[in-house]
Structures are given as C-alpha cells and as structure tokens.
C-alpha cells in the first residue's frame, strides 16, 4: 500500500488533555499503530541530560536528536515501555522534568526537522493514530481525521496530580498547574510548529467527560467504527 494512502488519525492538544490515553485506546479499538511523538522529544531531552548537554547548546542538541535511538515495546503485562539508547527510560520520561526539557528542546527548529521523518515512518498499514502538538498541522497534514483535545488547565492539573499520586510521586496541585501553564505557553508560542489546532481539526473539550465517552466521540469520526 503506498504510504500516502495509509489512513492516519491525529490527536493534538496541550499537556494533560488526555491525548496519550485516548490515542492508545482508539488505536487498540481500530487495530492501528500508535505514535507517541512526545516520547521522541522527551527521549532526546533525557539523552541530553545523561550526556550532560547544555539546553542552550542548540548544535549539540540537534546532534543528540539525530543520534538518540528510541524503541517502543509492550512488557509482559501489555504496558508500553520506551527504550532510549537501549535503556528502559519509561519512568524517567514521564517526569515533569523530562516534559519541561522536551518542551525546551522542541522549540529548536533543527531538532524538529531531525525527528520529522522518524515520525512519518510510523505510518504503516493498516493505519496510524498519532498524538502530539503538530501531528495534524505539520507531520501528517493529509490525515483523514484530525482531533484537537482540550480541557481546562485546572482539570488537567488535577488529572496529572492523581496520576502522579497513584505512582507515589510527591507533588503539589499548585506546582503542577504552574508547570502545565508554563509548558502550554512555551509550546504555543514557539516560532516553528506551535501547538494549535489544524484548520480542519474537530475540537473536543474533555472537561468533565470520562475517558470512555471521549474515546467513543473520536471513534465516531471514523466511518464504520462508531458505537
């Protein structure tokens, strides 16, 4: 099947809007592949940290983006794991520190270019669900279905708070809200591929909506897959 005819559904949105959760569930229901593009940016940020690189050294970060090897696999319990340069970095990748580092390096245009083809290579039959910030605008502008997920910043902070508490991570709700607002501002204001809905994206505000309801709303967009 020529790559351009393989169906793609993109789900973009700010941090904590539920992109990863919804995309994974929708991909499973469709039997399609899943791309967590944020994990690629987080992996470069984490690899840069391991190599003690300066987050202001754009040249070194671009080299790091080209050199960092990222692998995705499910463990025996079916939980997704991410390998960075052969090491299981799943837990480190999910920290707020890694998210902030990813957001900072993602503002460097050459880092974005370095990751572009790697993301497009995930377009494999029978289809792909891709989540991130620029999936519908830059990486897969020809996607058949585009979603832009939102939720109030307060609800997103509460979701993250609950998620981290459940993992035994000590955080405060106020601190998380500040981090979420700072990351939204940085991701939306950068010059290249800023966080914004594609013109043809369907916007879904998930504030007060459960995960299953959102999954059904997204699936309803794909002919033959609604409830």
Ligand X SMILES: Nc1ccn([C@H]2C[C@H](O)[C@@H](COP(=O)(O)O)O2)c(=O)n1
Q: Which residues bind ligand X (CB under 6 A)?
A: 15, 37-38, 41-42, 99, 102-103, 106, 132-134, 183, 187
What is the sign of the dihedral through the CA atoms of 53, 118, 218 and 106?
Answer: positive
Q: CA 147, CA 38: separation in Å to the nearest integer?
A: 16
CA distances from 26 to 15, 40, 94 (A): 18, 20, 21
CB-based closest residue to ligand X: 38
Minimum CB separation from ligand X for residue 113, in Å?
12
Tell me whether residue 63 or residue 94 sits nearer to ligand ATP (CB atom): 94
Q: CA 95, CA 5: separation in Å to the nearest integer?
A: 36
Q: Is the peptide bond before 226 cis (omega within 30 degrees of 0)?
A: no
Q: Which does 132 bind (CB under 5 to 8 A by kind): ligand X, ligand ATP, none?
A: ligand X
Q: CA 131, CA 129: separation in Å to the nearest integer?
A: 7
Q: Which does 103 bind (CB under 5 to 8 A by kind): ligand X, ligand ATP, none?
A: ligand X
DSSP string, 200-217: TPEEEE-TT--HHHHHHH
Tell me whether residue 16 or residue 140 sits nearer to ligand ATP (CB atom): 16
Pick one of 31, 210, 223, 224: the residue that binds ligand ATP (CB under 6 A): 210
Tell me the β-bridge partners of 82. 72
CA distances from 190 to 29, 56, 113, 135, 168 (A): 34, 15, 15, 16, 33
Minimum CB separation from ligand X for residue 81, in Å?
15
Pick one of 8, 9, 16, 114: the residue that binds ligand ATP (CB under 6 A): 16
Does residue 163 interact with ligand ATP by CB under 6 A?
A: yes
Tell me whether residue 58 or residue 153 sits nearer to ligand ATP (CB atom): 153
**Is 12 in contact with 131 (CB distance < 8 Å)?**
yes
19 annotated to bind ligand: yes
21 annotated to bind ligand: yes
Stretch that binds ligand ATP, among 15-23, 59-67, 108-116, 196-204 (CB under 6 A): 15-23
Q: Which does 37 bind (CB under 5 to 8 A by kind): ligand ATP, ligand X, none?
A: ligand X
**Is 114 in contact with 41 (CB distance < 8 Å)?**
no
20 annotated to bind ligand: yes
Which residues are part of a known binding site for ATP? Answer: 13-21
User: Rule CB under 6 A: which residues touch ligand ATP?
Assistant: 13, 15-21, 38, 99, 159-160, 163, 206, 209-211, 214
């Amino acid at each position: 099947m020529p790559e351009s005819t393989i169906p793609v559904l993109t789900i973009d949105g700010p941090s904590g809007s539920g992109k990863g959760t919804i995309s994974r569930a929708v991909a499973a229901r469709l039997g399609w592949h899943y791309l967590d593009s944020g994990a690629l940016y987080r992996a470069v940020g984490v690899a840069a940290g391991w190599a003690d690189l300066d987050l202001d050294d754009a040249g070194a970060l671009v080299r790091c983006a080209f050199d960092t090897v990222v692998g995705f696999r499910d463990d025996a319990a079916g939980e997704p794991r991410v390998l960075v340069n052969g090491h299981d970095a799943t837990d480190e990748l999910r920290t707020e520190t890694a998210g902030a580092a990813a957001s900072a390096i993602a503002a460097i245009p050459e880092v974005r270019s370095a990751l572009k083809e790697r993301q497009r290579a995930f377009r494999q039959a029978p289809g792909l669900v891709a989540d991130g910030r620029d999936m519908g605008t830059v990486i897969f502008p020809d996607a058949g279905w585009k979603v832009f997920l939102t939720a109030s910043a307060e609800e997103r902070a509460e979701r993250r708070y609950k998620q981290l508490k459940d993992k035994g991570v000590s955080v405060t709700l106020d601190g998380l809200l500040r981090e979420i607002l700072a990351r939204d501002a940085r991701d939306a204001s950068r010059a290249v591929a800023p966080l914004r809905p594609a013109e043809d994206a369907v916007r879904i505000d998930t504030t007060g909506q459960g995960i299953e309801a959102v999954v059904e709303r997204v699936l309803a967009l794909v002919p033959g897959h609604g409830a």
